[in-house]
């Protein structure tokens, strides 16, 4: 239809990565020999050729303005031949060939308010989602909690004082765009009130069979309300996943009184020592308390401190808990073990204690 469609380019994909690789990387691609962590946030990779590439890693709020990106570009032009990259946990890395540039770069970053760290036995950046900043289904804000938690734990980003790595992630609802379910500590936004149904508009904007099919517990049934086609929810069967809301805007779960966060512990994705693990429920619910979310910050800080004080060298949160056992974990943390901690979804029995191996 469009006349200028002829000139329009599509499906070109991203730029080829080789365009953006530093010269030293191109030269030593696939020929790196080893690396060493020189100090918090700084490492060197040594190639078979003897070349040395220095990495300086800084934190990043992830939600950034173009002005800050331009500032980072200025630093990269000044210190790293215009080369920089981002990590899978949203840190920024400057790739330096001149060791003498490390300290001046760090000084400039710190002057801008950007901490250097996140390498080795440290807390890395918190992977997180959009929250109230930009999402329709958020049960909490993401950036706000992340800011508060990282403010409290920043020294553990900037040092290497922990027994092992600590990965925190936050997702503002069960959709888990941040896929937090395999983190040492996961902060997960939750709804706790069944959907309120707008019967007046539901049949106009939603496909009723899709809404019915969306429910993992089959709690939704078609019905007629005031002569209009709609759905009804068996509230006893609702576990507040908001899957129905995802397919139908007329079923709202967000609710200031009942939304908040849950805290999960002991997950990991790396295969080092222990196989990857899901995070498990530690605290079922903490109400939203902006702007500081002090209860969340306190809970996370306490978990980090307990783990740091008790874990063996290299032991991740989940490995530590597996060694001491969950009863001990709840005793040490002072978290009350409640009905919500016991799984009652599919295959729940697999998480029941099925032996007499008990530590007293």
Partner 1 sequence: MSNTSGKTPKLDKLDKGPWPSFVKEIKRAAEKSPMSKDLLGQLELSYEEKIGHWKHGGIVGVFGYGGGVIGRYSDVPDKFPNVAHFHTMRVNMPSAWFYSTEALRKLCDIWEKHGSGLLNMHGSTGDIIFLGTVTDKLEPIFAELTEAGFDLGGSGSDVRTPSCCVGPARCEWACYDTLNLCYDLTMHYQDELHRPAFPYKFKFKCAGCPNDCVASVARADMSIIGTWKDGIQIDNGAVKEYADKGMNIQKDVCGNCPAKCMEWDGSTMAIDNSLCRRCMHCINVMPKALRPGKERGACIMIGSKAPIVEGALLSSVLVPFMKMEPPYEELKDLVEKMHDIWCEEGKNRERIGEFIQRVGLGNFLEAIEVEPSPYMVEHPRDNPYVFYEEYFEEGDEDEGEEEDE
CA distance 196 to 253: 7
CA distance 272 to 313: 13
Q: Judged by CB, which is closer to partner 1: 82, or 327? A: 82
- Nearest-approach distance from CB 152 to partner 1, in angstroms: 9
CA distance 262 to 281: 8
- Nearest-approach distance from CB 50 to partner 1, in angstroms: 14
- Nearest-approach distance from CB 167 to partner 1, in angstroms: 9
Q: Taking a C-beta distance cutoff of 8 angstroms, is the pair 211, 205 a contact?
A: no
* Residue 349, both tokens: 């029995």
Closest CA to 189 of 265, 128, 123: 128
Q: Taking a C-beta distance cutoff of 8 angstroms, is the pair 278, 322 a contact?
A: no
- Nearest-approach distance from CB 355 to partner 1, in angstroms: 15
Compute φ and ψ for 72, nearest 5 degrees.
-65, -40
- Nearest-approach distance from CB 217 to partner 1, in angstroms: 10
Largest CA distance in the chain: 79
CA distance 29 to 27: 6
| Strand, helix or coil for residue 49 | coil
**Any idea how long the chain is?**
360
Q: Judged by CB, which is closer to partner 1: 23, or 331? A: 23
| Strand, helix or coil for residue 222 | strand
Q: Measured in whole angstroms, how far is the alpha carbon of residue 331 from the centre of its chain?
A: 27
- Nearest-approach distance from CB 212 to partner 1, in angstroms: 12
- Nearest-approach distance from CB 266 to partner 1, in angstroms: 14
Q: Judged by CB, which is closer to partner 1: 55, or 101? A: 55
* Residue 187, both tokens: 């902060």
How many other CB atoms are there within 10 angstroms of residue 320's CB atom? Answer: 21
Q: Judged by CB, which is closer to partner 1: 134, or 228? A: 134
Query: Which uninterrupted H or E stretch holds 318?
Result: helix 317-324
Q: Judged by CB, which is closer to partner 1: 104, or 216? A: 216
Q: Judged by CB, which is closer to partner 1: 68, or 229? A: 68
Q: Judged by CB, which is closer to partner 1: 257, or 309? A: 257
Q: Which residue has the tokens 């990565």?
A: 17
* Residue 44, both tokens: 């060197």
- Nearest-approach distance from CB 250 to partner 1, in angstroms: 9
- Nearest-approach distance from CB 345 to partner 1, in angstroms: 6
- Nearest-approach distance from CB 255 to partner 1, in angstroms: 7
Q: Judged by CB, which is closer to partner 1: 200, or 291? A: 291
Q: Judged by CB, which is closer to partner 1: 217, or 333? A: 217
303 to 2, 59, 117, 143, 307: CA distances (angstroms): 58, 22, 21, 21, 6
Q: Judged by CB, which is closer to partner 1: 82, or 104? A: 82
210 to 4, 63, 86, 194: CA distances (angstroms): 38, 34, 39, 18
């Amino acid at each position: 239809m469009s006349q200028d469609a002829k000139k329009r380019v599509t499906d070109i994909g991203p730029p080829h990565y080789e365009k953006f690789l530093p010269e030293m990387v191109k030269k030593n691609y696939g020929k790196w020999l080893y690396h060493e962590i020189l100090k918090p946030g700084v490492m060197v990779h040594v190639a078979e050729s003897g070349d040395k590439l220095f990495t300086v890693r800084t934190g990043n709020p992830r939600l950034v303005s173009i002005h800050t990106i331009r500032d980072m570009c200025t630093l990269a032009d000044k210190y790293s031949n215009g080369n920089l990259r981002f990590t899978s946990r949203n840190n920024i890395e400057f790739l330096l060939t001149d060791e003498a540039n490390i300290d001046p770069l760090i000084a400039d970053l710190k002057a801008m308010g950007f901490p250097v760290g996140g390498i080795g036995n440290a807390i890395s950046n918190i992977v997180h989602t959009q929250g109230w900043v930009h999402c329709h289904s958020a049960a909490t804000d993401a950036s706000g909690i992340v800011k508060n938690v990282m403010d409290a734990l920043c020294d553990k980003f900037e040092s290497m004082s922990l027994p092992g790595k600590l990965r925190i992630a936050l997702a503002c609802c069960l959709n888990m765009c941040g896929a937090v379910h395999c983190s040492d500590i996961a902060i997960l936004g939750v709804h706790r009130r069944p959907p309120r149904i707008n019967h007046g508009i539901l049949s106009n904007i939603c496909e009723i069979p899709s809404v019915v099919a969306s429910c993992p517990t089959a709690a939704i049934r078609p019905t007629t309300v005031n002569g209009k086609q709609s759905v009804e929810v068996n509230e006893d069967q609702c576990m507040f996943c908001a899957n129905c809301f995802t397919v139908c805007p007329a079923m709202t779960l967000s609710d200031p009184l009942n939304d908040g966060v849950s805290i999960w512990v002991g997950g990991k994705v790396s295969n080092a020592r222990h196989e990857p693990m899901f995070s498990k429920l530690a605290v079922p619910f903490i109400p939203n308390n902006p702007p500081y979310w002090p209860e969340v910050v306190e809970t996370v800080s306490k978990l980090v401190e307990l783990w740091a004080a008790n874990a063996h060298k290299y032991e991740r949160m989940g490995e530590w808990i597996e060694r001491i056992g969950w009863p001990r974990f709840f005793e040490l943390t002072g978290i009350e073990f409640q009905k919500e901690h016991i799984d009652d979804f599919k295959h729940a029995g697999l998480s029941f204690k099925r032996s007499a191996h008990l530590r007293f």
